[in-house]
Amino acid sequence: MPGYNPSAIEKKWQQYWNEKKVYATNVKDTAKPKYYVLDMFPYPSGQGLHVGHPEGYTATDIIARYKRAKGFNVMHPMGWDAFGLPAEQYAIKEQKHPSVFTQNNIDRFRKQLQSLGFSYDWDREVDTTDPGYYKWTQWIFLKLYDTWFDEQQQKGRPISELVEEFEKGNSEFRIQNSELGLAEAIRWRDLNATQQRKVLAGYRLAYEAEVPVNWCQGLGTVLANEEVIDGKSEVGHFPVERRPMRQWMLRITAYAQRLIGGLDQLQWSDSLKEMQRNWIGRSEGAEVQFKVDGTSETITVFTTRPDTLFGATYMVLAPEHPMVPGITTPDQLAKVEAYRKWAASRSDRERQEDTKKTGEFTGTYAINPVNEQRIPIWVSDYVLMGYGTGAIMAVPAHDERDYEFATKFKLSIVQVVGKKQEASSKKQEVNVQKEAFCEEGMAVNSPWIEGLPTAEAKAKITAMLEEKGIGKRQINYKIRDWLFSRQRYWGEPFPIVHLEDGTTVRLADSELPLRLPELEDFKPTGTIDPPLSKAAEWVNVHVVVSADNSARVVPPGTPGAVKARRELNTMPQWAGSCWYYIRYLDPRNENAFVDPAVEKYWLGNSEFRIQNSELNSGGVDLYVGGVEHAVLHLLYSRFWHKVLFDRGLVTCDEPFRRLVNQGLILGEDSQKMSKSRGNVVNPDDVVRDYGADSLRMFEMFMGPLEQVKPWSTAGVEGVYRFLQRVWRNLFDENDALKIVVAPQDEAIRRALHKLIKKVGDDIERLSFNTAIAAMMEFNNVLGKAPSVSREVALTLIRIMEPYAPHFAEEVYARIQSSEFRIQNSTVVSVSHLPWPEYDPAMLIDATIEVPVQVNGKLRGRITIPNGADEATALAAALADAEVQKHLAGKEPKKKIYVKGRMVNLVV
RNA sequence: GCCCGGGUGGCGGAAUUGGCAGACGCUCAGGACUUAAAAUCCUGUGGACCGAAAGGACCGUGCGGGUUCGAUUCCCGCCCCGGGCACCA
């Protein structure tokens, strides 16, 4: 059957591209500017590909193909984030090893992706479950383990440098460890090895801690804060409870300021940056010390409104605050203890759902340091131990929560902020007895800062507190350290062993990868013991520990060997995806996680800057993926990257320079696609019925990439018809090429040059839908032409290639073979043609049509020479019959000519 | 409650720097081809008004106001939708 037939051509070209490695990247071709375009790492689920996947993947593929044609060295890889719960749970159910299931899924996913004609360099494929990959995940973990954060320099430094600082006895680096109760004057060399390890453990970016964690019984593991939504697990929606457990943590809080600051230079959407800022939650304020009346103790509170200090009429401690038992009076003790028990029994969920104020009076008073007033100290669970100091000064006049509490427990409310007086406006009443006034304004009833606007009042009172030694400026963050261990089998094992003295040491690099033990039964144990506890032989080892605290596993009886137990937890799924974009650059390197020269070219931010670009081109140039990773992957990954940067292992400080979130594709009924609604579209079916090129084109034609939009089968047919129409403009009813060698008429050549410019500009700004519209428009014009020249045909398919690569390749091959035989040895591909240049002169028409308005309303059109001056244009406008009619003989009092745009006459 | 997006025909959307609102596609209607249908091609398709017709005049980008010769675009106030955060002091 003649005509455009995708099923007959697509497989053929996919195979050709694969065999000839048409899209392989030469990483060392550093003479060219680089462009790194990345898709978010897919989890190869058993469900296979969803129509949402090709949306982002087609967008990046268009960019990749376009940039190659523009002379860039393009990195466009794909791989698998393959560790994780679904495969493990399925494997348990099916009594198979998860690796088998994972490999099957990967094969299916790869096949599906290849059926869409993406120009990935498949030789760079990575798989997080491959020991050749996770060796380096473990290696990076050890870099975190071997790094401490220097607050002064705001930078991660090698732990060996901390040891040097300790050895020097530098007073700025006091040896601290609460467990050991070390004295001020302690010298590093006086500590034994165990003590030294315990001290260092308190500084490492990867550390173990006994903390209240999110335990999810349903998943049999703990979860990070970011993985818990409304008290339930993000995966599977199982209930999550607070439970103290010893777990591995990553000190992401140390990087809070850098993670916020780094956002400014990124080309990300405002909403995404805002989500990260909110999650990190920076608050500027002050810490203030309150004396406890009748004792020598002080309570430190954190406030963002130090200007309201004069309005603090009581104080609240979190129920878990360590000072509560000590300060509670004997007659209140029973009540306070009962309250503490009750509060402890409440889950996070209950707390979130029920925000009614509860609490008890401790019987004790504090002294407000600014006015010496005695204020009662209460205990209430509306103050959280995990934020600030776990204690607040309550200012009910200017804080809604405090107001609610004060009203309920009949505590006094004193106004210390009023509305700003503005000369013209009437003074509006603020009645803090009726309602808290939480806005900024002007300090009142506050001797030190009377009459000052809020911002100034904050600054002044903070300075005064610092001067008097009763407070200081303080910045707090909401973000908590990242809980990094999981009680599951299918993840990276920690390259860590536990010694009998209760300390941990790392494995030496030469011990990596630490492979997962083969287990018959890798089900969760039903307790907090991870499945790896079942691998007794693997767990119990003998090691030799070197001076730098790294261990090598040795046979028992080796001189110097000591007993050790391996860490039983595994890493969370996020570990592998934190750095995959680096591994793609050098995926088979066995000696380094990436070759430094390769890293510098592809990610470095100084030497290979794109010419004439104001933007710093370091990192991945374009990253496309779903918004669901806003505070998970994207935060974790930035954190790891900054640590690697600090340690000199990568040369740019942000991994993803420009990031775009593709919008969700809804079902044809504008509802979320779901099996239960029966509105799920399977890409395989679309490819079968219309071909990959139509699927690709339609997904781009639906609307702006970032927007949520519904699927439309009629719309797919629309772009399919478009491809057929292009085909028919080039081939006759017997598929004989009908293009001619004679030059094309000028009107069409002009339209073509405009199209070249339009499509290029639109791709640059990711406006793929308008580029397709322009191609359609051009093709409509072409269809009316008596013939199509070879030059026009080649240019058109070159422009279409990023969108419809199989189509373009087929047409190109037919044009080629009609003219000369293709040598078998050379790889011929339309993708090797450079992007066409447009001739600026061809964009300018000799005459232009300009609308003429009278009093702002469109009344006529004039045709004038392009570039005509104002006088010419106005004369033409005034001479126009329609315009004359509306002027009704009146002389315009104002004549406006916007060059080449329009004329407006005002009468 | 707070923060960030957004609101344009029957539908998806376009209008890039304040300058012809509705490009392009879908849908629908009419026509050509055909014994017929499909496919294909052509014409029309924001609303309402006057006119037999050619044509003419009006309204229109969530709502109300403002700036401007001119506003989908800028400013103020409000309504609605989507997303995020939420006792974080």
- Which token pair is A844? 């300018």
- Nearest nucleotide (C1') to alpha carbon of A702: B12
Contacts of A797 (CB under 8 A, 6+ apart): A807, A808, A811, A812, A830
pLDDT band at A561 (very low <50, low <70, confident <90, very high): very high
pLDDT of residue A614: 45
* A426 CA, B77 C1': Å apart: 19
Mark out the alpha helices in A246-359 (DSSP H runs): 256-261, 270-280, 324-327, 330-345, 348-353
pLDDT of residue A127: 97
The 10 Å CB-count burial string (b at 16+, else e) for A412-441 is ebbbbbbbeeeeeeeeeebebeeebbbebb
- What's chain A's average pLDDT? 90
- Nearest nucleotide (C1') to alpha carbon of A698: B25
pLDDT in tens, A280-308: 999 999 999 999 998 999 999 999 999 99
- Nearest nucleotide (C1') to alpha carbon of A762: B16
Distance of CA A43 to the CA centre of its chain: 16
pLDDT band at A437 (very low <50, low <70, confident <90, very high): confident
- Which token pair is A487? 């009680």
* A115 CA, B32 C1': Å apart: 40
- Residue of least CA–C1' distance to B85: A278
Could you give phi then psi for residue A377, rounded to 5 degrees?
-105, 120
pLDDT of residue A894: 84
Helix (H) or strand (E) holding A811: helix A805-819
* A748 CA, B17 C1': Å apart: 28
pTM of the model: 0.93
- Residue of least CA–C1' distance to B39: A721
- Nearest nucleotide (C1') to alpha carbon of A709: B12
* A511 CA, B55 C1': Å apart: 89
Helices (H) then strands (E): counts for chain A: 28, 32
* A774 CA, B15 C1': Å apart: 14
pLDDT in tens, A496-511: 999 999 999 999 999 9
pLDDT band at A591 (very low <50, low <70, confident <90, very high): very high
pLDDT in tens, A49-78: 988 899 999 999 999 999 999 999 999 999
pLDDT band at A832 (very low <50, low <70, confident <90, very high): very high
Least confident of A374-388, A492-506, A519-533, A777-791: A519-533
d(CA A792, CA A511): 61
**Cα distance between the two ends of chain A:** 65
- Nearest nucleotide (C1') to alpha carbon of A354: B87
What average pLDDT score do residues A328-333 get? Answer: 95
Nearest to A35 by CA among A91, A73, A92: A73
DSSP secondary structure, A462-522, as one string:
HHHHHHHTSEEEEEEE----EE--BS-SSSPBPSEEEETTS-EEEEPGGG---PPPP-S--
Q: Do A397 and A443 contact (CB within 8 A), yes or no?
A: no
pLDDT in tens, A672-726: 888 888 889 999 999 999 999 999 999 999 999 999 999 999 999 999 999 999 9
Q: Which residues pair with A852 in a beta bridge?
A: A860, A903
Q: Is the pLDDT assigned to residue A450 strictly greater than 50?
A: yes
DSSP state of A427: P
DSSP state of A180: T
Q: Which residues pair with A241 in a beta bridge?
A: A215
Nearest to A250 by CA among A571, A509, A549, A475: A571
d(CA A25, CA A94): 40
- Nearest nucleotide (C1') to alpha carbon of A714: B26
d(CA A415, CA A651): 53
DSSP secondary structure, A886-903, as one string:
HHTTPPPSEEEEETTTEE
Q: Is the pLDDT assigned to residue A361 strictly greater than 90?
A: yes
Cα separations in angstroms, A3 against A665, A737, A809: 31, 11, 15
d(CA A613, CA A621): 12
* A107 CA, B27 C1': Å apart: 40
Cα separations in angstroms, A64 against A61, A499, A657, A800: 5, 50, 16, 13
Contacts of A247 (CB under 8 A, 6+ apart): A208, A209, A210, A211, A213, A222, A483, A484, A485, A569
pLDDT of residue A430: 78
Nucleotides of chain B in contact with protein CB (under 7 A) are 3-5, 11-16, 19-21, 23-27, 39-42, 56-58, 69-71, 82-89
Q: Do A318 and A381 contact (CB within 8 A), yes or no?
A: yes
What average pLDDT score do residues A188-217 get? Answer: 89
Highest mean pLDDT among A118-127, A340-349, A556-565: A118-127
- Nearest nucleotide (C1') to alpha carbon of A722: B25
Q: Is the pLDDT assigned to residue A425 strictly greater than 50?
A: no
- Nearest nucleotide (C1') to alpha carbon of A758: B16
Mark out the alpha helices in A293-329 (DSSP H runs): 324-327
Tell me what ipTM this predicted complex has.
0.95
* A706 CA, B85 C1': Å apart: 21
Q: Is the pLDDT assigned to residue A229 strictly greater than 90?
A: no
pLDDT of residue A181: 64
d(CA A82, CA A46): 11
- Residue of least CA–C1' distance to B24: A773
Could you give phi then psi for residue A830, rounded to 5 degrees?
-60, -25
* A722 CA, B25 C1': Å apart: 10
* A724 CA, B52 C1': Å apart: 44
d(CA A871, CA A851): 16
Q: Do A656 and A266 contact (CB within 8 A), yes or no?
A: yes
Q: Is the pLDDT assigned to residue A382 strictly greater than 50?
A: yes
* A276 CA, B4 C1': Å apart: 12
d(CA A841, CA A839): 5
* A228 CA, B77 C1': Å apart: 39
Burial class (CB within 10 angstroms; exposed 0-12, middle 13-18, buried 19+) of A716: buried
pLDDT of residue A907: 79
- Residue of least CA–C1' distance to B12: A702
